[in-house]
Chains A and B, each alone.
Chain A
Amino acid sequence: MADASEAEKNMVAAAALSMATTELEYRVSLLNSMVATCHERCAARPYKEGQLSVGENSCLDRCCAKYWQVVAIVGQLLGSQKQ
């Protein structure tokens, strides 16, 4: 009997681990696409200098805020569709 519950515990732990790994991968992928998209929109070309100007900084902040709102909206829509 003890073995069965041990095996069950291991299965639950393995499932939780796999979920956590997947969630982490999702977060990393989200960060990467946020960086790529906002860089495309906001980094001034031609590259005059390495430092970010005040305008670029504001642009990045706004880009991130909007991107995040889109993440929330899409998340809600997908969640409501599943139901």
Chain B
Amino acid sequence: MNFPLDSVQDLPDDAKMALAGALEQMQVRDSLKMYNKLVERCFKECVEDMRSKALTGKEEQCVSKCCEKFMHVTARVGMRFQEFFSQMEQQAAAAAGAAGAGK
């Protein structure tokens, strides 16, 4: 089910450049999406009081903590994600190697 991204090495140069461009665009799009999601999340969780135009001190603090916490969660989950993926790719490579040697 997984297309091994290592075989990207075999692509011709212009395809590699196109892939790099697509990757960069995906990153920009993804960070913009994350910005929006984070604003929505922290607003929903922290801002309740519609009696004034300005955020109360409590709401402001809540929003900062909310952002900081989410960033830390993202970092930690991202780290584990990388570990799992590289573990899986290693296992796949080992399995492929064993199958090749068996033949």
Residues of B within 8 A of A13 (CB): 11-12, 15
List residues 1-40 of chain A with CB under 8 A from any CB of chain B.
Answer: 9, 13-14, 16-17, 19-25, 27-28, 30-32, 34-36, 38-39
- The answer to whether A50 touches B19, judged by C-beta atoms less than 8 angstroms apart, is no
Q: Report how many residues on chain A are interfacial, defined by Cβ distance under 8 Å.
A: 43
- The answer to whether A39 touches B73, judged by C-beta atoms less than 8 angstroms apart, is yes
* Distance of A9 Cα from B15 Cα, bound (Å): 11
* Distance of A52 Cα from B22 Cα, bound (Å): 34
Residues of A within 8 A of B26 (CB): 24-25, 28
- The answer to whether B80 touches A65, judged by C-beta atoms less than 8 angstroms apart, is yes
Interface positions of B (Cβ within 8 A of A):
1-3, 5, 7-8, 10-12, 15, 18-19, 22-23, 26, 30, 33-34, 37, 45-46, 62, 64-70, 72-74, 76-78, 80-81, 84-85
6 contacts between A and B (CB under 8 A): A16-B11, A17-B22, A22-B3, A24-B5, A32-B30, A64-B77
